[in-house]
A and B are shown apart, each in its own frame.
Chain A
Amino acid sequence: MKKLSLEIVSRALKLPVCEGDSLAEKIEEAGIPLSTYCRKRGVCGKCFVEIVRGDIPPPTEKESLLMRQKKMPARSRLSCLYKIRGSLAVKIPRGSLFRETNILTTGLRMSVVVNPPVKKYLLKVLSPRILNPASALELVEEGLKRKGLRVPLPLLRKLPALLQDTQGRLTAVIFDEEEILALEAGDTTGKNYGIAIDLGTTTVVVELVDLQTGATVDLATALNSQSRFGSDVVSRISHAFLSDQNLEDLRLSIVRQLNSLIHEMGERNHIPKSSLYEVVVAGNTTMNHLLLGLPVKTLAVAPFNAVFSSLDEFPAIELGLELNEQAKAFIVPNIKSFVGGDISAGILASDLARRPGNFVFIDLGTNGEIVLKKGKSLWATSTAAGPAFEGMNISSGMLALPGAIYKAELGKKLDVFTIGDRAPIGICGTGLIDLLALFKKKGDITPQGKIVPASRILPVTEGITITQKDVREVQLAIAAVKTGVRMMLEKGGLDPEDLDGILIAGAFGNYLNVRNSQAIGLLPAIARKKIVFIGNASLSGAKELLLSSPSRKFLKKMIKSVTHVSLAADPEFQKKFIESLEFPEVDP
């Protein structure tokens, strides 16, 4: 076969090619993120390249139309339709590359190629002719260059009128290249949106995402409305299992809240709910069960089995969520019964599975979830830290809301800093950690956790104190995390020094002081630069799943390879837990 060459002028690359090769495939093989949005079917018109030198076949009807629309140079051709016949040189415009968007914005910088499961294609459906009396659906399929797509019946009923009204110019919304979600009049390709949700026990975060660009359009945060039925997972489960009505109340409560948050964001940004085609929800096992209205009793009783761990996408309308009528919902899969989709999403967003080296991923919440990555293996566990880090069961404790002391420093005197710079009204998790470390350093608290002054009360600032019982609550919470990390490291045969990093997810974010956390034993005493805060990795993971079809396929597979470790069932746990209750003797 004749040796031919392909020169990519815009990248100063030259590679060998053969006659008959697909230009798009060769460009992809060179590692260039060419936007092959429609999987090289010549439908989306996103992979245009300019032929600087070489054979230029006459444009197809579709190419001519798209070139006019996009105002491309006349020497442009769709690279997926181009078969190489001779040596050539091409220029790839920026617009023909997949967009990338940031997934994690703190700690690690992670980005993802925008290649969502929900895609939009502009079609010009030909009118049927007497000689070739194709059905309306066949004509649509021809436009999409794809046969056997699933079509919801309500859509099919509207199809003839739609074709007539639009003279065949319409936009098809396709899910995973398998199913038509909607057929819309005219060109709506610029309006493709989805919703990513971090469904936390305490806090709910909803993100409106542009599925074309990957941009975050808007973000809304609220206290989980189920909180009125109980602040933690167990009290919600207890409420749910008293009656079916209670379970339904919990379900409706969160569904209504999500609908209202989504509705408000839509209004604010002039995006109708009919332009929302998918929702991805990352939450712990209890939260996703309650959202689905599934019985939760078994989640709080040994052997703690869930109703599901992984589900395929299903119609969002079945959840009661008000998006486009045909929109999909994807619940980020749980790891076995115990570790929730929020953690799966976090593993994905931080690319833990593919990160070279040994890592511990910790999500500090009411349940401290811990994932160990060693070599190619992943182990996950959860340990009941209790709600102390969220300010519960602490005399002056509160959530991280305005007025909460989130940080403390010890100079000549004790300085406290509050969220929003308001007058202090309480202490949140990070503030509590700082204060205990500082009081311990001052000698007001012994390594055993005893408050030295006879009053057994430590004044923080006017009206705010730390009591002996508060210290004990924090000791219990720390011991749970500490024991969990210790046992996971033992499982992997690792010492803390063998770790290449500890990734910390959760609302604590950058407010958590590493030195102070190490002083009270919450974090192992390893080099400070190895400890990285990655923020709300659950939400980041949900966004990535919304934007990347390959990421979603990767996650579904990756989740199955995670080994679940049950600490509660390990007889060593109790012993190690008790050993972990004391603070480290020396400060780092």
Chain B
Amino acid sequence: MIKLLQDIASAVENGDSAAVKELVRRALVSSVPPDRVLNSGLVLGMNIIGQKFKKNEVFIPEVLIATRAMNAGLEILRPALTQTGFRFKGKVVLATVKGDLHDIGKKIVGMMLEGAGYEVLDIGVDISKDRLLSSAKKEHPHILGLSALLTTTMTYMREVIEALEAARLRKKVKVIIGGAPVTKSYAEEIKADGYAPDAASAVSLVGSLLR
């Protein structure tokens, strides 16, 4: 069983969708518990990719392909997971703030979080306070992740946090921020709940905030 799970993990890591699907099927037939297929197979594979990405050993295309492979496995696994009462670890809403059209970094964070077992809703780029507020009300996310790649647009993050406070939503959702010009001290200054310098760290950050 352990060999099978390891094979699933490395198939995810190599982005081999066909192999992932086949191995997940085989695991289910062999009565491996679905949550173990998820956590010790698919998620483990994404974790390895995440670590390698952090060290620049793999790059965005490989992460993307690995995510596709993981999702292919998840499709097969989902019915079994639902039957066993599987729940996501938490819900994350991601957005690039108003005035900023950068997407790729945020997308990677989303992929990594999905890979780690979170429900992720990416609401896009150039997102206003109003849209973030209504998302927070409607979707009830545990985490709101804000991204900005420009020093000129990151100032909008403060406005979002202030708007959440004014709407009395601040206590209901944790706000994490990231992007090239963003720093830990900036996160503290605008009273965000956390900051991560890269996608892999964002996954650990979300984990520690929801613990």
Q: How far is the CA of A237 from the CA of B56 in the complex (A)?
A: 30
- Interface 1/0 per residue, A214-256 and B, CB below 8 Å: 0000000000000000000011011001000000000000000
Which residues of chain A come closer than 8 Å to B85, judged between CB atoms? none
The majority secondary structure among interface residues of chain A is helix
Q: How far is the CA of A237 from the CA of B153 in the complex (A)?
A: 11
Are A448 and B62 touching (Cβ within 8 A)?
Answer: yes
Segment at the interface with B among A268-276, A468-476, A493-501: A468-476
Q: How far is the CA of A332 from the CA of B37 in the complex (A)?
A: 63
- Interface 1/0 per residue, B46-87 and A, CB below 8 Å: 000000000111111110100000000000000000000000
- With A568-B101, A574-B103, A577-B104 known to touch, is A301 a contact of B153 (CB < 8 Å)? yes
Are A302 and B126 touching (Cβ within 8 A)?
Answer: yes
Residue A579 at the chain B interface, CB threshold 8 Å: yes
Chain B residue total in the interface (Cβ 8 A): 21
Which listed residue, B56, B58, B126, B153, touches A300 by the CB 8 Å rule?
B153
Which residues of chain A come closer than 8 Å to B193, judged between CB atoms? none
Residue of B nearest to A567 (CB): B101
Which listed residue, B56, B60, B153, touches A469 by the CB 8 Å rule?
B56
Are A302 and B99 touching (Cβ within 8 A)?
Answer: yes
Are A300 and B152 touching (Cβ within 8 A)?
Answer: yes
Q: How far is the CA of A297 from the CA of B152 in the complex (A)?
A: 7
Residue B183 at the chain A interface, CB threshold 8 Å: no
Residue B100 at the chain A interface, CB threshold 8 Å: yes
- Interface 1/0 per residue, A483-516 and B, CB below 8 Å: 0000000000000000000000000000000000
Residue B89 at the chain A interface, CB threshold 8 Å: no
Residue of B nearest to A237 (CB): B152
- Interface 1/0 per residue, B138-180 and A, CB below 8 Å: 0000000000001111000000000000000000000000000
Which residues of chain A come closer than 8 Å to B129, judged between CB atoms? none
Which residues of chain B come closer than 8 Å to A302, judged between CB atoms? 98-101, 126
Within 8 A of A (CB), among B94-137: 98-101, 103-104, 107, 126
Q: How distant is A447 from chain B, measured CB to nearest CB, in Å?
A: 10
Q: How far is the CA of A42 from the CA of B55 in the complex (A)?
A: 75
Which listed residue, B57, B61, B104, B153, touches A468 by the CB 8 Å rule?
B57
Are B152 and A238 touching (Cβ within 8 A)?
Answer: yes
Residue of A237, A302, A450, A467 with highest tally of chain B CB at under 10 A? A302
Residue of A nearest to B156 (CB): A301
Are A578 and B57 touching (Cβ within 8 A)?
Answer: no
Q: How far is the CA of A574 from the CA of B56 in the complex (A)?
A: 20
Q: How far is the CA of A372 from the CA of B150 in the complex (A)?
A: 28
- With A302-B99, A302-B101, A569-B101 known to touch, is A578 a contact of B152 (CB < 8 Å)? no
> B: which residues have CB within 8 A of A?
55-62, 64, 98-101, 103-104, 107, 126, 150-153
The 10 listed contacts between A and B (C-beta, < 8 Å) are: A234-B151, A238-B150, A301-B99, A302-B99, A449-B59, A467-B56, A574-B103, A574-B107, A578-B104, A579-B61
Q: A467-B56, A579-B61 are in contact. List 18 more A-B contacts (CB 8 A).
A: A234-B152, A235-B151, A238-B151, A297-B152, A300-B150, A301-B99, A301-B150, A301-B153, A448-B59, A450-B57, A450-B59, A472-B56, A472-B59, A569-B101, A574-B103, A578-B60, A578-B64, A581-B59
